[in-house]
């Protein structure tokens, strides 16, 4: 399993938000390119970059994203407001290794099937989950569909993976929903990326033991709860 630092962008800065909030910033670093380079120096070979402004429909951080892609040799998976073929193509042309698609992928399965056929092995579907139900639109809408039903529907598509965030475990770094992640990993025909609540090396080891391919780690790395060198040494690749 690999651990992937999260690099969330808002207003040209790298931020970490309070759990459950799109507005309350707990950490703000004005030099996101420097952050990306720092994670590479620690030994990480992948980054999970999200444009929060694009998610919220409040502009974008395209210059910062292009600078990050040009400044480092890490593999970047890029998400945030990607809802069209043109944006998928542009992201890949700019140097992203994978694109992460949430709302439209969940709400327009025919479009997702078309896009995954056009870009096989490049699309990661993001599913925010609470009580095994899918959330969307910044966690404001709950879908009746259960996450395992979604995974079964996605099986067979040439996806790069599915990113499952255990929203109900975001509040504290006490570990993610292991039964959920284990069930998803057993059901999926493609790699599973896990996030939400990760706070220690043991949390990462527990995910690895359950067949998860990658873990997205945010606050625990930025706050120092996890030693980035130790994480990179054990889970860089």
| Catalytic residue selected from 73, 128, 209, 227 | 128
Q: What is the mean pLDDT of residues 139-168?
A: 89
| Catalytic residue selected from 8, 51, 53, 177 | 8
Question: What CA–CA distance (Å, rounded) separates 17 from 38?
Answer: 20
Band (pLDDT 50/70/90 cuts) for residue 20 is low
Q: What integer pLDDT is reported at residue 103 of this predicted model?
A: 87
Question: Which residue, among 142, 59, 136, 123, has the nearest Cα to 85 in the 3D structure?
Answer: 123
**Above 90 in pLDDT, residue 137?**
no
8: annotated active-site residue? yes
**Above 70 in pLDDT, residue 140?**
no
Q: What integer pLDDT is reported at residue 141 of this predicted model?
A: 67
Question: What CA–CA distance (Å, rounded) separates 43 from 46?
Answer: 9
Band (pLDDT 50/70/90 cuts) for residue 212 is very high
**Above 80 in pLDDT, residue 9?**
yes
Band (pLDDT 50/70/90 cuts) for residue 138 is low
**Residue 237, C-beta contacts closer than 8 angstroms, at least 6 positions apart:** 2, 45
Band (pLDDT 50/70/90 cuts) for residue 210 is very high
Q: What integer pLDDT is reported at residue 173 of this predicted model?
A: 82
Question: What CA–CA distance (Å, rounded) separates 84 from 235?
Answer: 33
**Above 60 in pLDDT, residue 51?**
yes
Q: What integer pLDDT is reported at residue 236 of this predicted model?
A: 82
Q: What is the mean pLDDT of the chain?
A: 93
- Fold of the domain built from segment(s) 2-235: TIM Barrel (3.20.20)
β pairing state of 25-29 and 98-101 = unpaired
Q: What integer pLDDT is reported at residue 230 of this predicted model?
A: 98
128: annotated active-site residue? yes
Question: What CA–CA distance (Å, rounded) separates 118 from 56?
Answer: 27
Question: What CA–CA distance (Å, rounded) separates 3 from 1?
Answer: 7
Band (pLDDT 50/70/90 cuts) for residue 62 is very high
């Amino acid at each position: 399993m690999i651990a992937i630092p999260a690099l969330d962008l808002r207003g040209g800065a790298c931020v970490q938000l309070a759990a459950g909030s799109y507005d309350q910033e707990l950490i703000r670093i004005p030099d996101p390119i420097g952050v990306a380079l720092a994670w590479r120096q620690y030994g990480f070979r992948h980054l999970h970059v999200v444009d929060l402004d694009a998610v919220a429909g409040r502009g974008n951080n395209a210059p910062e994203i292009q600078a990050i892609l040009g400044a480092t040799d890490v593999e970047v998976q890029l998400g945030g407001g990607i809802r069209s073929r043109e944006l998928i193509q542009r992201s890949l042309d700019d140097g992203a290794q994978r694109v992460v698609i949430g709302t439209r992928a969940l709400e327009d399965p025919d479009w997702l099937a078309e896009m995954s056929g056009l870009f096989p092995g490049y699309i990661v579907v993001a599913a925010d989950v609470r009580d095994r139900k899918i959330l969307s639109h910044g966690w404001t809408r709950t879908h009746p569909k259960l996450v395992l039903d979604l995974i079964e529907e996605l099986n067979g598509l040439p996806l790069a993976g599915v990113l499952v965030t255990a929203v109900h475990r975001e509040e504290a770094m006490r570990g993610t929903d292991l039964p959920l992640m284990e069930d998803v990993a057993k059901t999926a025909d493609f790699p599973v990326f896990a996030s939400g609540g990760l706070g220690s090396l043991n949390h990462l080891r527990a995910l690895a033991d359950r067949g998860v391919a990658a873990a997205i780690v945010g606050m625990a790395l930025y706050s120092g709860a996890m030693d980035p060198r130790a994480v990179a040494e054990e889970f860089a690749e």
